[in-house]
Amino acid sequence: MPSSPPALPPSLSLAGRTALITGGSRGIGAATVRLLREAGARVAFSFNTATDRAEALAAELGGPDLCRALQQTLVTPADGRALITATLAAFGALDILIVNHGVWPAHDQPIATMPDAQWSSTLAINLQSVFGLVQAATAHLLAQPQAGDTPRGHIILVASTAAQRGEAFHADYAASKGALVSLTKSLSSELAPRGILVNCVAPGWVATEMSAAALADPAASKRAMSLIPLGRPAHVLEVAGPILFLCTPFAGFMSGEIVNVNGGAVLTG
């Protein structure tokens, strides 16, 4: 018998931490903003055009001292760097970067006729801006002291099931998200030895505004659900939860991982 009870496990609390979540005004992003605030973090989140919604969410979750909505277009590396600068100006700190923003052109587009503009736009939003975000966040985190085994910070990239098995007629989206999977592994190899943990969450179909039109179409929905062993799309909290987990001490020995949240879909089809 042990002479004293075992220590309690690490907490899911993020008290004293500051996070930035891109694309935080709706869907997975908004659910993640809420969950990280519930965990005690100060949270900045970006939005593009939904000003009223973003400001209402920030006010609901504590106002400018605890939650800030930052309007920022994310298309270029410079845009990403500007958002990191704005976050540091707002809170004076950054411990967690969650890259959640992205675009998924909902219409089927054969590669043979895909316009250059669609390919370029998707990769600009889903990948080029990510470079600037990660670059600036990494520079800031590397300047912070590290205490023992406690990470300097966390970077979470939100990819997609499409990153791993592809998506017919959405090659632009699948290619951009596949790049995030590769980027996760590359950054982990580079940054884990320096105390920055980089991981990826890869959702499948999630019930959000972005997917609403496709899921409302009976034929498209039936086809999508047939590839998901659980037979339904995810709720946004079922994606936000794993993101929170990766920011806590419970995940302190995870780096370079692709956490699939897709109801088993990545193993089928």
What are the catalytic residues? 173
Query: How many residues in total does the chain contain?
Result: 269
Would you call 62 helix, strand, or coil by DSSP? Answer: coil
- Which parts of the chain are beta strand (E)? 18-21, 42-47, 67-71, 96-99, 153-158, 196-203, 258-261
Instruction: Classify strands 153-158 and 96-99 as parallel, antiparallel or unpaired.
Output: parallel
Structure tokens at 170: 């959405």
DSSP string, 103-171: ----S---GGG--HHHHHHHHIIIIIHHHHHHHHHHHHHHTS---TTS-SEEEEEE--THHHH--TT-H
Alpha-carbon gap, residue 265 to 60, rounded angstroms? 35
Order of all β-strands in the sheet with 42-47 = 67-71, 42-47, 18-21, 96-99, 153-158, 196-203, 258-261
Handedness of CA 90, 94, 96, 100 (dihedral sign): positive
